[in-house]
A and B are shown apart, each in its own frame.
With several copies, the nearest count.
Chain A
């Protein structure tokens, strides 16, 4: 098995795990979205990832960049809502970072940065707006620093990033929303955890679990 094959399998396996995890958490994500949104985040995420998973499991020939791009494209066309373009569009465009050298420590940092940038470009949320950006920003910052400054192994760096994301998710609870449907609530959004930040954390946890096996 060559490097490309191994990476393809890793992506497919990670996607399988993410899909299963989102299925498990579907009603929890929807409950979070009921409190400050419109009760569909669980359905949106599972609809998109199930379809992406189906597609990717059939792609025996593609390189990792293509696989990741397919995930993004599928989310864009299946999900709709706010999370469709945010997750899907950003994965789609950040997948370019893998196209030359495949998935390496360096390209994974580039991917993470590109992904966060795209989410912010599209959605206009800042850190502290009570969105997925609050989980992503600490995770991406931590991952980058762990690899580029502290020279940690990707697996260790990813573990630290997951911790950081978790801190980010917790941070969304006590603050007032400025973006997304929760922002309509004004001060009443305080005290509720953001669904999109939560699904971001779950996805990262599954990436880590896949990498650890």
Chain B
């Protein structure tokens, strides 16, 4: 394994300092914590939007801090939920008096630590509301699993909730739009190679030279099915069919789509996938209102991509296209 790192145990700490060094006017690091917040946090009179989780998904989470998106992001160790302490300090640092919405991805570690943090912050008098994103259709949502995972669709939750908060809406309203995105978004991904965590230094799972993993998670958790390599078109068809099946949309429905790279896949290939995705959206009688292509929710150096579809109404369209100014995503009017 070769990586551009120093000691594996320092990578998160050094990354955070490197982010602040890149955006000193926008980001501030909380003392002694692996937490980034807006340089001007807390923003008085605005609902704070925070997120967080394991590191290794850059630009998620810290890269989406800024006007119109997040106020704070906690960075756990690679693929490990931040501790409740860290999350608690973040929530308090982002409360401008109107309360804080925590956007949680559905992993037991994240959920348990955010729960504890919300309790702690509540005791300090901060109004906290939580939403749990679970857009990954690869995982069966049943009593026999810990539920669907939160993956790339999370970015749309950050965007919509962030825009609503920027409008001056109250915590209930901000929470409502976050839930609305969650109710309307679905994602599925595939891996061509495993990621390699700095600590382990070897692939998390072994994939044969001609195999791919369908339904991959964003932590190198093995997916749900292993198959022979297929063409980009076939893979796109498989992922898109599963996503659209889950959403079960009406004819003519407008959607936002994301082709999200897992970190190691060239942008060139993501556009090849997007070409087929847009054909399929059209074949299904749907209409793409906006298409995003890029690395939003990565998994270190994993080679692969996920496809997200989100049904949008006028409210979501307005929120998703509202201005945002963050290192990882800029939307202009």
A and B touch in the complex (CB under 8 A): yes
Which residues from chain A sit less than 8 Å from chain B, CB to CB? 27, 30, 34-40, 42-44, 47, 76-86, 89, 122-123, 176-181, 183-186, 188
Number of B residues, CB within 8 Å of A = 38
- Report the Cα distance A122→B109, complex, angstroms: 10
Q: Which of B76, B85, B146, B217 contacts A179 (CB 8 A)?
A: B146
- Report the Cα distance A42→B86, complex, angstroms: 21
Interface residue B220 (Cβ < 8 Å from any Cβ of A): yes
Q: Known contacts being A38-B221, A86-B112, is A77 close to B84, with CB within 8 Å? A: yes
For residues 103 through 129 of chain B, which have their beta carbon under 8 Å from a beta carbon of chain A? 107-109, 112-113, 116
A-B pairs with lowest CB-CB distance, top 10: A38-B219, A82-B109, A183-B145, A85-B112, A81-B80, A77-B85, A81-B109, A80-B83, A39-B204, A82-B108
**CB neighbours of A47 from chain B (8 A):** 9, 77
Residue-wise, chain B 74-109 has the 8 Å CB interface mask toward A (1 for contact) of 001111111111100000000000000000000111
For residues 173 through 207 of chain B, which have their beta carbon under 8 Å from a beta carbon of chain A? 197, 199-200, 204-205
Q: List 27 A-B contacts (CB under 8 A).
A: A30-B200, A34-B204, A34-B220, A37-B221, A38-B220, A39-B220, A40-B78, A40-B197, A40-B199, A47-B77, A76-B83, A80-B54, A80-B83, A81-B77, A82-B107, A82-B112, A85-B109, A89-B112, A122-B112, A178-B145, A178-B146, A179-B108, A181-B107, A184-B146, A186-B140, A186-B145, A188-B222
Number of cross-chain contacts by CB at 8 Å: 128
| Chain B residue with Cβ nearest A183 | B145
**CB neighbours of A42 from chain B (8 A):** 199
Which residues from chain B sit less than 8 Å from chain A, CB to CB? 9, 54, 76-86, 107-109, 112-113, 116, 138-140, 143-146, 149, 197, 199-200, 204-205, 217, 219-222, 224
| Most chain A CB atoms below 10 A, which of B54, B109, B197 | B109
Whether the Cβ atoms of A123 and B217 lie closer than 8 Å is no
Whether the Cβ atoms of A183 and B149 lie closer than 8 Å is no
Whether the Cβ atoms of A80 and B82 lie closer than 8 Å is yes
Whether the Cβ atoms of B83 and A30 lie closer than 8 Å is no
User: How near does chain A come to B12, taking the closest CB pair, in angstroms?
Assistant: 11
**CB neighbours of B83 from chain A (8 A):** 76-80, 84
Whether the Cβ atoms of A184 and B80 lie closer than 8 Å is no
Whether the Cβ atoms of B149 and A40 lie closer than 8 Å is no
User: How near does chain B come to A124, taking the closest CB pair, in angstroms?
Assistant: 8
User: How near does chain A come to B139, taking the closest CB pair, in angstroms?
Assistant: 5
| Chain B residue with Cβ nearest A47 | B77
- Report the Cα distance A178→B113, complex, angstroms: 20
User: How near does chain A come to B191, taking the closest CB pair, in angstroms?
Assistant: 13
| Chain B residue with Cβ nearest A181 | B221
Q: Known contacts being A38-B219, A76-B83, is A85 close to B116, with CB within 8 Å? A: yes
| Most chain B CB atoms below 10 A, which of A42, A77, A84, A122 | A84
Whether the Cβ atoms of A181 and B219 lie closer than 8 Å is yes
- Report the Cα distance A86→B139, complex, angstroms: 23
Whether the Cβ atoms of B217 and A40 lie closer than 8 Å is no
User: How near does chain B come to A158, taking the closest CB pair, in angstroms?
Assistant: 28
Q: Known contacts being A82-B112, A84-B113, is A184 close to B78, with CB within 8 Å? A: no
Whether the Cβ atoms of B204 and A81 lie closer than 8 Å is no
**CB neighbours of A36 from chain B (8 A):** 221-222
- Report the Cα distance A39→B76, complex, angstroms: 14
- Report the Cα distance A34→B199, complex, angstroms: 12
Instruction: List 20 other contacts, CB 8 Å, given A83-B109, A186-B140.
Output: A34-B204, A35-B205, A38-B204, A38-B221, A39-B79, A39-B197, A40-B78, A43-B80, A77-B86, A80-B54, A80-B77, A81-B54, A84-B83, A85-B84, A86-B112, A89-B112, A177-B145, A178-B144, A181-B108, A184-B217
